[in-house]
Structures are given as structure tokens and as C-alpha cells.
Amino acid sequence: MKRVVPTQALFFQAPLFTKFFRAFLILCIFAVTASSLLSSQTNPPRRGRKYTPPPATAKITVTVVKATNGKPVENAAVIFHPVKNGKDEGGLELKSNEEGKVSIDVIPIGYTVRLQIIASGYQTFGDDYDVTSDSKDITVKLKKPDRQYSIYEQHDQTKQQGGSESSSDRPAQPEQKPQSDTAKPPSSN
């Protein structure tokens, strides 16, 4: 017995159908890919935080020398404390090399750096410096320790007490004079 197959069923079984199907499938994939690429170029996805570039930093070079002869002080602890708006932002300690130098380039411009230097056999040094440009060179002259300061002894007012000989922009402190008894109003007993 012969079976009659409709013409429509023959079309789906023919090799021509599979060629059309493959071509149609490839065309659809191409269209979807092209549309997704075009949409991603016009509106990039907004994920995560906005990028903010790091602040500009200054290169700070500190040279530590002896006040007596100007020779470098090796292995001195140089401690940097960046300060922004009166708040300490942490600290970083480096040791001076055989030339007495230390360099750092992570302090942002606009900060104040609190510098502290500790070396065995010398007075501890500390001072604040404003970082206003992209490089700053600081030379610190360390003194040998003096004898202990006492308020109960007479001292020469012209001699600087403590500290080190480094360039400082601070004005000298005005001398305070004791008040005499004539400035007091008379007391009535």
C-alpha cells in the first residue's frame, strides 16, 4: 500500500529547509549581538562607585645632620604624620640612610606634615611644615642633649632652651614682664 505524503511534510524534511533554518538562525544571532553592542556604546552601565582620582602628592626630602659639624646622622627615625584640618591621618616611619636623607612622596599637597626625628644620642626634634608645592626639602640639625631644664634655676633669656637649629617661620615669643604692685588697686581694710 502506498502512502501519500502531503507536500508540506516534504518541505520540512528537505535539505533546503535546514539551509534556510541555519541562515535564519545566524541572522537572528547577528541582529541580537549588533543591537546589544550599539546599546552598550550609547548608555554605559552604571555600576559601583564613581572614580575619583587620588590627590596630587609632594615629594618631601628630609636631611638629618649634626649641629656641631654638619655630618649626616645615619639610622635616625624620621616619622611623618600628615595632618588635615587638625586631624592626624596616620603615621609613617622611615630610617635615614648613610647620607642622613629620607624621601617620601605620598603626602598630599595642602596637608600639614608633622615631622618628628628621633636619633640615639641626640635631642628629639619635632615641627610642623605646610605642604604647598610638589617638592619640599627640609634640613634638620640635631643637637646633643643639654642638661635638664628646671624652672627653679636662673637661665639666660637670650639662649634658646631645647629644640634644634632648623629653619622656622615662627615669630619669636614676646617677653612677658612681671606685674608690679603699683598696678594693683589699693585695698581697703
Separation in Å, CA 158 to CA 161, 172, 173: 9, 11, 12
Take residue 178 and report the three cell numbers written for it.
Answer: 612681671
- CATH code matching the domain that covers 57-143, chosen among 3.40.640.10, 2.60.40.1120, 3.30.470.10, 1.20.1050.10: 2.60.40.1120
The structural domains of the chain, with segments of one domain joined by +, span 57-143
Q: Which residues of the chain have pLDDT under 50?
A: 10-11, 162-184, 189
pLDDT of residue 3: 63
pLDDT of residue 52: 86
pLDDT of residue 27: 78
pLDDT of residue 125: 92
Identify the CA nearest to 100 among candidates 135, 67, 131, 144. 67
If you write DSSP's letter for every residue of 134-169 in order, what string do you get? SEEEEEEEEPPP-PPP-TTS---TTSPPSS-EE---
